[in-house]
Amino acid sequence: MKTVATTLALGAASLWAGMAQAADDLTLQLKWVTQAQFAGYYVAQDQGFYEEENLNVTIKPGGPDIAPTQVIAGGGADVTVEWMPAALSAREKGLPLVNIAQPFKSSGMMLTCLKSTGVTGPEDFPGRTLGVWFFGNEFPFLSWMSQLGVPTEGGDDGVTVLKQGFNVDPLLQGQADCISTMTYNEYWQVIDAGITPEELITFKYEDQGVATLEDGLYVMEDKLQDPAEVDKLVRFVRASMKGWKWAEENPEEAAMIVLDNDATGAQTEEHQIRMMGEVAKLTAGSNGALDPADFERTVQSLLSGGSAPVITEHPGDAAWTHAITDKALN
């Protein structure tokens, strides 16, 4: 009888220990498909950084038919990767998103033009057709045109805005003089299509002073009311930033980790290695914390671009700076 009791007691103790050590589940929704743009998260998973933080992280790829804000609003993810203009727009419409970390310090967005069109500088934009991404990505462009005093309704003194899909076809097919590209992705799609860098001229939004924050980590505000959720998010941010810094230091290995996670098989080794090298330039200098100056720049770009997002929650207020990154980095 004593042996049976002892066995049961040991079994219960073992079960309790297993329950106490069970990893916390967390689902991350990406903004786009599996690619080196999100290498830090795949690296954190592959290198065991999430496991070290007692986390079981599921990474959900995005795509053209997936809206990250809708996914998190519907409870399909705990954290989502999103650009700040889209997050602010969603917040304005009643979805209480909160930025808990900002791995991307710089913007990779730019306008890429064919030199053969005669465009040599912004002063040549009037009378041209420019490809622009929408769904919140248009605000930096509108801000830029506003600062230049260039109308966006067409005409000789304005520009014709072509609502661009997430591809480079309008440039290749002669539908636009310039198109939206990212330094790490679409620009290289143009190059891979047979156009040389010497045939192109690019304008980085960062250099034009109208860049907005990209690829931040966002959660629903109510999660910050639960100490257990906050603790989980702190561990997630800490492990994710460790993954990003590892990726910066080991770009080729990080790209291969991304390829291992690409279930579609659509990505190529050359493109992902190249992308990782460019993405590393954008995450460099970030420790994960949201810089108030970068936030203000984003807001001002949105306002001058004709958007009126909710901006009462400035950095320093609970809605936009939480102690998560402070705890994660200390």
Q: What is the dihedral of CA 273, 274, 278, 280, to 10 degrees?
A: 10
Report yes or no: 179 and 169 within 8 Å, Cβ to Cβ: no
pLDDT digits (tens, 9 = 90+) for 170-214: 999 999 999 999 999 999 999 999 999 999 999 999 999 888 999
Nearest to 163 by CA among 136, 135, 132: 132
pLDDT digits (tens, 9 = 90+) for 10-37: 343 333 344 446 999 999 999 999 999 9
Q: Is this model's pTM higher than 0.95 or not?
A: no
* Portion of the chain with pLDDT greater than 90, in percent: 73
pLDDT digits (tens, 9 = 90+) for 222-260: 999 999 999 999 999 999 999 999 999 999 999 999 999
Report yes or no: 172 and 129 within 8 Å, Cβ to Cβ: no
- List the domains of the chain with CATH numbers: 24-105+213-329 (3.40.190.10), 109-208 (3.40.190.10)
Nearest to 47 by CA among 258, 318, 323, 202: 258
Tell me what pLDDT residue 85 has. Answer: 86
Nearest to 98 by CA among 115, 80, 75, 114: 80
How far apart are alpha carbons 315 and 311 in whole angstroms?
A: 10
Tell me what pLDDT residue 329 has. Answer: 72
pLDDT digits (tens, 9 = 90+) for 283-315: 999 999 999 888 888 888 778 766 544 444 444
